[in-house]
Amino acid sequence: MRTRCLSLALILLAAGCGQGTAAAPAPPEPPPVNGGTLVYALPADPVSVTPLYGGDAAGLVIERNVFAGLVDADPSTLRTVPVIASSWSRTPDARTYTFRLRPHVSFPGGVGAVTAATFVADWSLLCSPSVASPNAAVLEPVSGYAACASGSGTLSGVRATGPLTLVVQLSRPVADFPAMLADPATWAFPPRLAATPGDRAAFERAPVGAGPFRLVSLRKSTHPAGKAAVAGLAVLSRNPAYFGARPHLDSVEMPVVAGADAGSIAAYRAGLYQVLPLPPAEVDVVRADPEFGRQLLDTPRLSLVLLQRRPGATSSLAGGLSASQVTALAVGKSGQTADALVPVGMPGYVPNVANFAPSPVTGETVTLTRPAGPTERSYTNAVARVLRTDGARVRIVRYGDWAVSELNLQSAAPATVIAALAGREEASLVSQVEAASPATVGRTLLHAQQTLLASGSIVPLTFGQTQLLIAPGVRGLVVDALGAPHLAGAWVTTGR
């Protein structure tokens, strides 16, 4: 299993050690410095920065530092760790969970305390059809979800039996339910700030959470006619009401830098940005630079680019498409070819599950769906090129038999992968994985992957990666499996 998160200090040390000579002792890590501002570039304007509607890469950078939930996934091990919950327990049948909350957790600005009732109200909003949250499915195992999603307005399986005691009843056994709650969609916010459509619109502009930082301002990029474009900018400041260890940074400035190119890399060199996300196509160029290669953080991310067959289509590609060739064409040598459905690093990952026997495509006609976004476009063109080289006739049309998509996971619960990929006819696979004991979950998950892959309707292409340029003056920055930074422990030294 690859390490999911390395500190910049470790990366620099590894890059500087030659082979065949004794490595000099590493200098001691300097003590954290309190104060200062970190300039962290965003790859795009956030679509949303709240639990109700968030999930895009840029939005998660903000969301994970403004909000906090019952639990989170440890960035290094992906183990579920308590945050607002101090502990939890479950019944032997894995259908009832009791979470005990920390006392004295509150929202900033005098909005109120975070209690068990907060989560009861938040989760009812999340599953309500009037809210229409794209993240609601994370609560699907909870009893009463179907009624809530149909308009009841409450999630009956969630109860506050005391100010600091939350009881969650599930409709079926889920052995690792707390891991699903690492999804930021389930994290705490003041429910009265999202009660009506107008409230929710205002909440998107000025979200309030219990995390280590608060959002001071959020400006979207604008392109007024006849005038210079104005880039977006988000500004975070330390949350004075935060219940955890005090963040070192006073503030974080997040200018929007859409698509890193020569200009933005030059700006990074000049010190205008201290953290700059890189698109995969730029990574090989940066890695070849001796100086910048030492400043590149490259870690796995819980996402999967895949090719899926449209329901009803019968053509098969699994053995006739080289995922490694597609990945190299789409994103260069830095891409990580997917050899399974469960991303590398996630518990339950087994290499070479997607090991298909060769199947010639010469003379076959393949239709690909015209892509919408840049990632899908890059991979769709790469798939078409590889298939044509192998003798297939390929057309890119509005609704093809096959479509490239990107599955971005919001938690490290392996069942979420199977749930996202399995159709209704494969619903039993999801239940089997969810209910599996620690001793059998690996075997059950492997069977589920093999079953889905055997259908011939899914071709995994590439596992996700997070690639950042991080200036040497930035210390303590941790990037999690969602590609989002944990800024509470970061600090900046003087100079670069």
Q: Where are the domains of the chain?
A: 33-49+211-297+466-492, 57-202, 301-465
Tokens read off for 446 = 């492997």
C-alpha to C-alpha distance for 276 and 470, rounded to whole angstroms:
7
DSSP assignment string, 326-371 = HHHHHH-TT-EE--SSSPTTSTT--TTSS-PPP---TT-EEEEEPP
Q: Which residue has the higher pLDDT, 309 or 13?
A: 309
Q: Which of 63, 69, 73 is closest to 85 using CA atoms?
A: 69
Q: Which CATH fold would you assign to the domain 33-49+211-297+466-492? A: D-Maltodextrin-Binding Protein; domain 2 (3.40.190)
Query: Does residue 314 have a pLDDT over 90?
Result: no
301-465: what fold? Dipeptide-binding Protein; domain 3 (3.10.105)
| C-alpha closest to that of 35 among 240, 249, 274, 246 | 249
Average pLDDT of the chain, as a whole number: 89
CA distance 380 to 372: 10
Say if residues 128 and 153 touch (Cβ distance below 8 Å): yes
The predicted model scores a pTM of 0.88
Give yes or no for residue 364 having a pLDDT over 60.
yes
Cα angle: 240, vertex 35, 482; to 5 degrees: 70
Look at residue 273 in the predicted model and tell me its pLDDT. 94
Which is nearest to 182 in space by CA: 305, 310, 60? 60
Q: What percentage of the chain exceeds 70 in pLDDT? A: 93
At 8 the pLDDT is 34
Query: Poorest-confidence range of 115-129, 152-166, 370-384?
Result: 370-384
Q: For residue range 14-40, list pLDDT tens digits in order.
A: 333 333 444 456 567 778 999 999 999
Question: How confident is residue 327, by pLDDT bands cut at 50, 70 and 90?
Answer: very high
Higher-pLDDT residue of 304 and 1 is 304
Has residue 424 got a pLDDT over 80? no
Question: Which of 339, 337, 338, 335 is CA-nearest to residue 355?
Answer: 339
What's the rounded mean pLDDT across residues 91-102?
97
Per the CB < 8 A criterion, the answer to whether 74 and 494 are in contact is no
Query: What is the rounded end-to-end Cα distance, in angstroms, of the chain?
Result: 33
Do 238 and 247 touch, CB atoms closer than 8 A?
yes
Q: What is the CATH number of domain 57-202?
A: 3.90.76.10
Q: pLDDT (tens digit, 9 = 90+) per residue, 425-450? A: 688 888 999 999 888 988 999 999 99
- Angle at CA 43, nearest 5°, toward 42 and 49? 60
